[in-house]
Structure 1
Amino acid sequence: MAESIGCAVHYTSLGYADGWYREADRTVCVRASLSRADRCSVLCHELAHAVAHTGDRGTSRAARELQAEGAAYVALAALGLNTARASLPYLKRWGDDDRMAAELDAVDRIASRLLALVDDAAETAR
């Protein structure tokens, strides 16, 4: 899935973060010691940054984090994975309900893109 958008993914030890996306070389790193579900959630969050925020200099960090986490939450819920335990506190750290509401169109657009990538990967695997 990540390869289709030109991203490399690495699972490794990380300092304070569970994951990150580096735009310069389109690399995603995810903390290897996370549970499988949490690795999936973090990967989806970082890929949301890759598909939506590459080259984006005009959107605030808070808005980008709300969009990425919201999109990961929605996309994974559509696939049957409940990430509320980690996602909801993360979202609250970056903004209140009004701020989140302002990002819902972007969340929907990004989640749709992530789900399309999953569909494409499933088609390729067949």
Structure 2
Amino acid sequence: MNRTTELVLGIIGGLIGFGGAFLALFVGSVDEAINGTSELNGLGTSAFIFSALAIIGAILVKFKPKLGGWLMLISGIAILISISLFGVVPALFLIPAGLMGIIRKSNGKKEKAA
């Protein structure tokens, strides 16, 4: 079955997640320079890792839809938890893409090469 929708939503969500993670890392670095300590650096790093995992899940959804869907769903929720406001937009892309990868049924018919 053609899973282009999940692939595109997952890649867009992962790329926007990278942007949110870099923004969180930047704000965390500024906060650390001013206050001496910041928790936002660790949270930005975890968001960066989960954004990479989301892109891997988006690629995997073409070959193993359930696994790719679970990776995107978990990544979307984890990004939303780790960088909250910066992670809303990536979560809006990743969570529906993950649910589509999990819930959508395969056609079951193999296309024959002409």
TM value normalised by structure 2:
0.30
TM value normalised by structure 1:
0.28
In terms of fraction of residues, the more helix-rich structure is: 2
In terms of fraction of residues, the more strand-rich structure is: 1
Structure with the greater alpha carbon radius of gyration: 2
